[in-house]
Structure 1
Amino acid sequence: MSEPTPAHDGHDVDAIFDDLPSNIDTDVFSVARLYDFLLGGKHNFAPDRDFGRQLLAIEPNGRMILQQNRLFLARAIRVMLDDGVRQFLDLGSGIPTQNYVHELAHAVDPAARVVYIDNDPPAVSHSNYILRGDDNAGAVLADMTDAERVLGDPTVKSLIDFDKPVGLTALAAWHFVDDHDDPAGVLEKYRRMLAPGSYLALTHATIDGATGDLVRDVQSQYQAVMKNPSPRTRDQIAGFFEGFRILEPGIVNLPAWRPDKAEDAVGAENVWFYGALGKLTAA
């Protein structure tokens, strides 16, 4: 598996964004743009790249882990599309770059509907900038933990028909939901709105296994710039799938989830993110 090409430093990268919405502050760190940088994208700026290098000094596999997150997404979306799902609601989306949900879905069916949810105003503006001209995709400014607000949003209601199966996705996002915010209860609110045949695809940082101390070091680094993430155990993550039937192979390290080739799963234990896909068989 090849590594993504790192973003270049300097004004030659930032200059391509002269027509960005005015509320995008290129001098302020954004976790959404951090992920884009680590994935080798171009939708990032100096503060994002600086923090990204700090993380890579702690965890040199950071780029590979996020790339595995996207590869899991592609495989999970393929399962959902093969089962006839044509609408997707992505929670904590960040900036939808680097072959994300709408591109994966539209490659199979250009009429598929996709809505991205994020609570970062610049990230949402940036997302809608990327999605401009696409009538079947949009980004909404909302806290993903406020299910009522998300489900009642006009863009969500216009693009997503909850009487039909929906692919609900939360990729590398739910570990930013604190226990006191009741992450399992929030997902239950979404589940109650979903039709049978809907799916939940989720990836989540974990402290299980030999990488636990490393994960805690990364967690401490995040404390300097944003809300502290909450990596969890497999059993805790399983609780988020209440009401869903978790498909084989269960909750596993990302490369071990239905790899295209057996050798792609080698070293999976070093990828400290779990991934799982659950299907709702009853309302």
Structure 2
Amino acid sequence: MEQQNAAGDDAPVRIDTSKPHPARMYDWFLGGKDNYPVDEELGRQLVGFAPVIPVMARMNRAFMHRATRWVADQGVRQFLDIGTGIPTEPNLHQVAQDVAADARVVYCDNDPIVLVHAEALLRGTPEGVVDYVQADARDTAAIVEQARRTLDFERPVALSLIALLHFISDEDGAYELVERLKEELAPGSYLVMSHLTPDFHPEEASKKVVDLYRAGGLTMDMRSRERFARFFEGLDVVDPGMVAAEAWHPELGEPVPGQEGVLSGAYVAVARKA
């Protein structure tokens, strides 16, 4: 399938609708319309097995809102969101610029459909800046190079990796890409991350979810708390530490409808680079 790219160029954006994509599935879980039958098919299989998955997706997104607001309240005015996914309001830049109108935000994703909708992402406050980078998360050099058009890496940046790294295996360089990005961050920067884990659910249930994703041609590596913690080596994790998404400063946001009694199934943390 071809669509015009967001910049209005004549070159078409090619969208592969032959296999599911995590960003489009996430959109479907959130009730969006920017997905295709192949995404819905796998999404329905997952929800058929675990009906709470859409609520879990909203709980993960609610953590992103709370963490972004918290980091902005610490004085950070630059944000790099890798694996941003399809726009769902409020977006990260709207949360950050609600705290600080001059916040500068760069979104990055590798799914062309996100590029198609980039114009929606690029509407920030007059005082702030919002930009978009199309690149694979593993191509950290390209991401940083393009992000430098908007962000000053000599000053603190909040790096958001929300619901991304469980789609990248150890063998495919998950830890290495995070280390490369951490090296680029100035002191006073923050790493904000959420990650699916098998720790909160029965082993057979987690295995079934992994198997469904893999049957759809997608990598899925739910990491334990110990493996999740490796991403934060060399950083100072802020309170309340590495916890379930619903346990990270719930007072900073509103409960997700249907959240009561539901486990998010994800570890989250926010950590500062000294």
TM-score for both structures, normalised by structure 1: 0.83
1:49 equivalent in alignment to 2:40: yes
Deviation at 1:82, TM superposition (A): 0.5
In structure 2, the residue matched to 1:32 is: 23
Conserved? CA contact 2:66–2:253, under 8 Å: no
Higher relative contact order (CA 8 A, sep 6+): 2
State the SS of the aligned residue for 2:80.
Answer: strand
Cα distance per residue 1:5-46 (max 9 Å; x no partner): xxxxxxxxxxxxx98764254844332121111112232333
Conserved? CA contact 1:36–1:98, under 8 Å: no
What amino acid is the match of 2:148?
K
Conserved? CA contact 1:215–1:272, under 8 Å: no
State the distance in 2 between where 1:158 and 1:50 align.
Answer: 39
Deviation at 1:188, TM superposition (A): 1.5
What amino acid is the match of 2:207?
R
Cα distance per residue 1:232-259 (max 9 Å; x no partner): 1101110100121111111111111111
Conserved? CA contact 1:127–1:139, under 8 Å: no
State the SS of the aligned residue for 2:222.
Answer: coil
State the distance in 2 between where 1:168 and 1:132 align.
Answer: 18
State the distance in 2 between where 1:235 and 1:152 align.
Answer: 32
State the distance in 1 between where 2:123 and 2:224 align.
Answer: 41
State the distance in 1 between where 2:40 and 2:122 align.
Answer: 26
Cα distance per residue 1:159-184 (max 9 Å; x no partner): 11111110100011011111113322
State the distance in 1 between where 2:253 and 2:31 align.
Answer: 26
1:131 equivalent in alignment to 2:121: yes
State the distance in 2 between where 1:109 and 1:263 align.
Answer: 20
In structure 1, the residue matched to 2:230 is: 239
State the SS of the aligned residue for 1:152.
Answer: helix
Deviation at 1:262, TM superposition (A): 11
Conserved? CA contact 1:206–1:212, under 8 Å: no
Select the structure that is richer in helix: 1
- Matched pairs, number: 260
My pick for the range that moved more, 218-227 or 73-82, is 218-227
What amino acid is the match of 2:155?
K
Aligned pair in 2 of structure 1 residues 73, 262: CA closer, same or farther (>3 Å)? closer
My pick for the range that moved more, 164-173 or 28-37, is 28-37
Q: Could you tell me which of 272, 275, 278 is aligned with 2:268?
A: 275
State the distance in 1 between where 2:85 and 2:66 align.
Answer: 20
Q: Could you tell me which of 155, 161, 178 is aligned with 1:170?
A: 161
1:104 equivalent in alignment to 2:95: yes
Q: Could you tell me which of 184, 190, 196 is aligned with 1:193?
A: 184
My pick for the range that moved more, 258-267 or 31-40, is 258-267
State the distance in 2 between where 1:227 and 1:37 align.
Answer: 16
Matched residues, percent identical?
Answer: 35
State the distance in 2 between where 1:188 and 1:261 align.
Answer: 29
Q: Could you tell me which of 151, 155, 159 is aligned with 1:160?
A: 151
Conserved? CA contact 1:70–1:100, under 8 Å: no
State the distance in 1 between where 2:117 and 2:188 align.
Answer: 28
State the distance in 2 between where 1:90 and 1:147 align.
Answer: 12
What amino acid is the match of 1:138?
D
Q: What is the Cα-based RMSD across aligned positions, in Å?
A: 2.5
What amino acid is the match of 2:34?
H
What amino acid is the match of 1:201?
V
Aligned pair in 2 of structure 1 residues 146, 19: CA closer, same or farther (>3 Å)? closer
In structure 2, the residue matched to 1:151 is: 144
State the distance in 1 between where 2:202 and 2:108 align.
Answer: 30
Aligned pair in 2 of structure 1 residues 180, 19: CA closer, same or farther (>3 Å)? closer
